[in-house]
A and B are shown apart, each in its own frame.
Chain A
């Protein structure tokens, strides 16, 4: 069955540094991969979608890569700020509805 692993449950980094979150998947060949942000007590909010033929996608301080050979996506937040503290979910998808990873809780410390 499909398996999605996000590198760690929690990640703490210093303000101003680059946060890198990892999403690995197995038994799956997704054509797309999405990243979401979720704040406590709120629903997830869509951030970025990357297609299998795109190596990299950027949006302001966010960058996503998608390596179909390694079956991995990396999500980077540059110049991180305390307001970036949240849980980040990856969701590979193909012909079926999204399957979400369990998320990585990022804490940016001032």
Chain B
């Protein structure tokens, strides 16, 4: 079974801090994704990566950056955390970006105080 592991289930940080969210997948998937999920807004794509060191902006990249130095690991970085970035963050991976199932981690619930 595919396993996507997110480093923390819950995280509390302060405004202005630099925050790192880590995601690791064990299925050699080319594509990895970061989403945030908010009540009433659904899942929104922040960034995705289709290969090592490659990245593409999603629908809401402002305030975020990503890093993919190894195929299995995709990191989301909040450069200077703000309260409006309090959310559930979900990582996913897949073989293809659009026509293959995505496999999700269980999410990181991030609170910015």
> B80-113: contact bitstring with A at CB < 8 Å (1 yes, 0 no)?
0000000000101000011111111111000000
State whether A100 and B43 are in contact (beta carbons under 8 Å apart), knowing that A41-B106, A43-B104, A43-B107 are contacts in the complex. yes
Give which listed residue, A42, A89, A98, contacts B106 with CB less than 8 A.
A42
State whether A32 and B90 are in contact (beta carbons under 8 Å apart), knowing that A43-B106, A45-B104 are contacts in the complex. no
Number of B residues near A (Cβ < 8 Å) is 23
Complex Cα distance, B78 from A77, in Å, reads 40
Q: Which residue of A lies closest to B40 (CB)?
A: A102
Would B41 and A102 count as touching, CB distance under 8 A?
yes
Would A42 and B107 count as touching, CB distance under 8 A?
yes
Whether B33 is near chain A, meaning CB under 8 Å from some CB there, is yes
Min CB distance B14 to A, Å, is 24
Give which listed residue, B4, B48, B99, B104, contacts A32 with CB less than 8 A.
B99
Would B103 and A98 count as touching, CB distance under 8 A?
no
Whether A93 is near chain B, meaning CB under 8 Å from some CB there, is yes
Enumerate A71-99 residues with CB–CB distance to B below 8 Å: 89, 93-99
Give which listed residue, A32, A93, A97, contacts B58 with CB less than 8 A.
A97
Q: Which residue of A lies closest to B4 (CB)?
A: A43
| B92 partner residues in chain A, CB cutoff 8 A | 43
| B45 partner residues in chain A, CB cutoff 8 A | 97-99
Enumerate B23-65 residues with CB–CB distance to A below 8 Å: 31, 33, 40-43, 45, 48, 58
- Which residues of A line the B interface, CB within 8 A? 31-32, 34, 41-46, 49, 89, 93-103
